Structure 1
Amino acid sequence: MKRVLAFALGAFISCGPALAADTPLSPALSPVDEWRADRAVILSTDAVTLDDFKWLARPIVVFADSPNDPRFIEQMELLAARADDLAERDVVVMVDTAPSANSALRKKLRPRGFMLALIGKDGGIKLRKPFPWDVRELSRTIDKMPVRKREIREGLTAE
């Protein structure tokens, strides 16, 4: 069943991890359409695959064993603080705080506890971090990627 977490980055900060309950995604909207409509939407990893966003967006996947993990909370606060920078770089945020669900992304990326993964538009894993990372550093990493350099040069962004 496709589901999207029912909070934007800013709402997560104001209400905390209690918002980790997810709600059904409208059958009319795919995860890609949901992201296009709201670049701050946070998708659950059980709702998407990396192929959904290939050549369209750069997924940042945040894993934790619980939405109450202090590292998860810190990472979400860091992402919320500079959500515009992420949107400018065509980033889609995906989270997985349910190891028992064993999502396809969890099987593929194999996190141990908390992990942040940056995936390129080509679907390749560009970065893994076992601790929270600031958006400024993520932006620097993205801006060094060849596809991003071309986007800057040509003034391109996702639709």
Structure 2
Amino acid sequence: MRAHILLFFAMLTPAQHRADDPATVTLETMRDRYRPLLVFAPTGKDPDFLRQLHLVAADQSELQEREVLLVPLTSTSEARPACVPGTSAHMEPEAAAAARRRFHIPPNSFTVVLLGKDGGEKLRSQTPIPIRTLLQTIDSMPMRQQEIHDRHTEPKTP
């Protein structure tokens, strides 16, 4: 598992800070565009935190198809983790603190919160969430059902 985590971090690139780039986000900027997966942890070395990152790294394409944006949030002032463009993003300290307050996450707690595109909480866990559980939760959402329906009914272009 440690090798997979190292491989995951080796693939990461630093975030770019363009206005249209989701590399640095707030809850408001993600609304209607992404399904944020907020991963709160005391530190970037927390075993549950690393396990959740590993799970996400193993199924990036499935999550990207569902417009899931991984947002790792640690309580310490350590350097923020790099992100995978299009798959993960950062929150500045003020936005991260606001998210922590909104979802009532203590600084010493590991918690994963999945939000819908509407900004509402869809799933919460104090242990890493298996990807299958994330996918099933997302695929049962009305907005995701509509996305699937729209994709299958779009006219094919020659």
Q: Which TM-score applies when normalising by structure 2?
A: 0.72
Provide the secondary structure at the position in 2 that maps to 1:34: coil
1:98 positional shift: 2.0
The residue type paired with residue 121 of structure 2 is I
Report the counterpart of residue 117 of structure 1 in structure 2.
Answer: 113
For residues 87-122 of structure 1, give each alpha carbon's deviation from its aligned partner in whole angstroms, at most 9, with x where no partner exists: 010111101112575621112112231000000000
CA–CA distance in 1 between the matches of 2:147 and 2:40? 28
Structure 1: state its 5+ residue gaps: 1-10, 36-42
The residue type paired with residue 110 of structure 1 is H
Residues matched between the structures, number = 131
Report the counterpart of residue 4 of structure 1 in structure 2.
Answer: none
Provide the secondary structure at the position in 1 that maps to 2:25: coil
Q: Is the strand fraction higher in 1 or 2?
A: 1
Moved over 4 A (4+): 15-18, 99-102
Structure 2: state its 5+ residue gaps: 78-92, 153-158
Equivalent positions of 1:2-151 (< 5 A) are: 13-14=5-6, 25-27=15-17, 29-30=18-19, 33-35=20-22, 47-98=24-75, 103-112=97-106, 113-151=109-147
The residue type paired with residue 142 of structure 2 is P
Larger Rg: 2
* Structure showing greater relative contact order (alpha-carbon pairs closer than 8 Å, 6 or more residues apart): 2
For residues 40-80 of structure 1, give each alpha carbon's deviation from its aligned partner in whole angstroms, at most 9, with x where no partner exists: xxx5xxx4211101111100000000111100010100010
The percent of aligned pairs where both chains have the same amino acid is: 37
